[in-house]
Chains A and B, each alone.
Chain A
Amino acid sequence: MALDRDPRLGMQRDAPPALERDAELMLRVREGDETSFALLLERHRQPVVHFLYRMVLNQAVSEELAQEVFLRVYRSRATYEPTAKFTTWLFRIATHLALNWIRDGKKEKGQESLNEELLEGVERQVADSTPSIEQELVYQVKLREVRRAVEALPAKQRAAVLMHKYQGLGYSEIARVLRCSESAVKSVLFRAYETLRSRLAHMA
């Protein structure tokens, strides 16, 4: 499966260059360059939506929250200062919105069945490339199990795992997003992976 970003690269990209490409683009947006905003959107909309989807497990909500993320970025263009990595800022907004959404319990009862349907849609898309019906069924069961195991993690642990595994954010970057120390991030990740190990043990 193609990941949203190469995690190994992300982990070694903790030290930002003098002025990263995204920050340069954002500074141009501040000067009124709309094309730079389009470029930023092009680069980051998919990782943001995918992160939010794995957080809230609802496609419509994840897109709605992602729109709010980019809207906030656009609104803040006039006061933007490249004090941190652009992705740190972006995922801080996304995480904040997702955690608020989860905390406010906006998950309605009817959404569960919708999510299942969407999940089946995703499974079918992925499973189309598998050679046999039996393998397809096994794969679908695996997808469901992994999704449920991730879903059952506490929201902050889930956010940390998603940023680590799928967005390829480094430990210091995750720490800045979650506003905690790097060692706390490592400990949160370890606890989360331990929980996932016990929940997915039967799949080995």
Chain B
Amino acid sequence: MECLHNHKQGAEILTEHLAGTLDREREAELERHTRDCPDCRRLLEVWDRLDEFPAPALSEDFDQRLYARIANETRMPWWRRVWLPTATIWRPLWRPVVPVAAACAVLVLALLVRNPIAPDSVNQLRIEQGGSSEVEQVVQALDDLELLSPVGSEQSGAI
């Protein structure tokens, strides 16, 4: 047998060996190989080595703290109880949205700074849209005044 780390099915053989599901023939082959191969022997020994990683005992008030949190949530108004799990579920999705929105805002700002709308063009536009009608109104008003002025006043003025 080839060394497990060079073997095409190395992962399969190791995991099946650890699960105790490797067929007899292959198990015997692996055993023979590991007798002469220290690397593969050590690989199989890692499983036992990991026994030397204990975890500390649980705090005595673990349940008490958990039930206090549950009671606290139960006392919450109904809308917060509905919102809380929803917010927790959606939080990972919202996380990337904030930087994307910030990047968009910066981009828009940069575009505005680079291509500002010139004030002259605004005035020009205003004149084009409404300026002509103002002139017309003034002319019209002068004409009206002329019409309303008493007939013959020009003549009296001339006197």
Interfacial residues, chain A to chain B (CB-CB below 8 A): 1, 3, 7-8, 11-12, 38, 41, 45-46, 49-50, 53-54, 59, 63, 66-67, 70-72, 74-76, 100, 118, 121-122, 125-126, 139, 142-143, 146-147, 150, 161, 164-166, 170-171, 183, 186-187, 189-191, 193-194, 196-197, 200-201, 203-204
| B66 CB-CB contact with A under 8 Å | yes
Within B80-139, the residues touching A (CB, 8 Å) are 84-85, 88, 92
Q: Is the CB of B10 within 8 A of A190?
A: yes
Residues from chain B with Cβ under 8 Å of A196 in the complex:
46, 49-50
Contact A193 B66 (CB under 8 A): no
Given A75-B84, A146-B50, verify A189-B19 contact (CB < 8 Å).
Answer: no
Interface residues of B in 25-50 (CB under 8 A from A): 38-39, 42-43, 45-47, 49-50
Chain B contacts for A201, CB-based, 8 A: 42
| B55, A186: Cβ atoms closer than 8 Å | no
Contact A204 B45 (CB under 8 A): yes
Name the residue of chain B whose CB is nearest to the CB of A204: B42
Partner of B54, one of A11, A143, A171, A191: A143
- Show the binding face of B for A, using Cβ within 8 Å: 4-5, 10-12, 14-15, 18-21, 38-39, 42-43, 45-47, 49-59, 62-63, 65-66, 69-70, 73, 84-85, 88, 92
Q: Which residue of the partner chain B has the closest CB to A161?
A: B50
Contact of B53 among A54, A72, A125, A191 (CB under 8 A): A54
Complex Cα distance A54/B50, Å? Answer: 11
Give bound CA distance, A22 to B54, whole Å: 26
Report, nearest first, the 9 A-B pairs whose CB atoms are least far apart: A190-B11, A50-B55, A11-B19, A53-B55, A186-B15, A186-B11, A197-B43, A146-B52, A75-B85
Name B66's closest neighbour in chain A (CB-CB): A67
Q: By the criterion CB–CB under 8 Å, are B69 and A71 in contact?
A: yes
> Inside 8 A of B18's CB, which chain A residues have their CB?
7, 11, 164
A143 to B5, CA, bound (A): 26
Q: Nearest Cβ distance between residue A6 and chain B, in whole angstroms?
A: 12
B55 and A49 contact, CB distance less than 8 A: yes
Q: What is the CA–CA distance of A197 and B3 in the complex, to the nearest angstrom?
A: 14
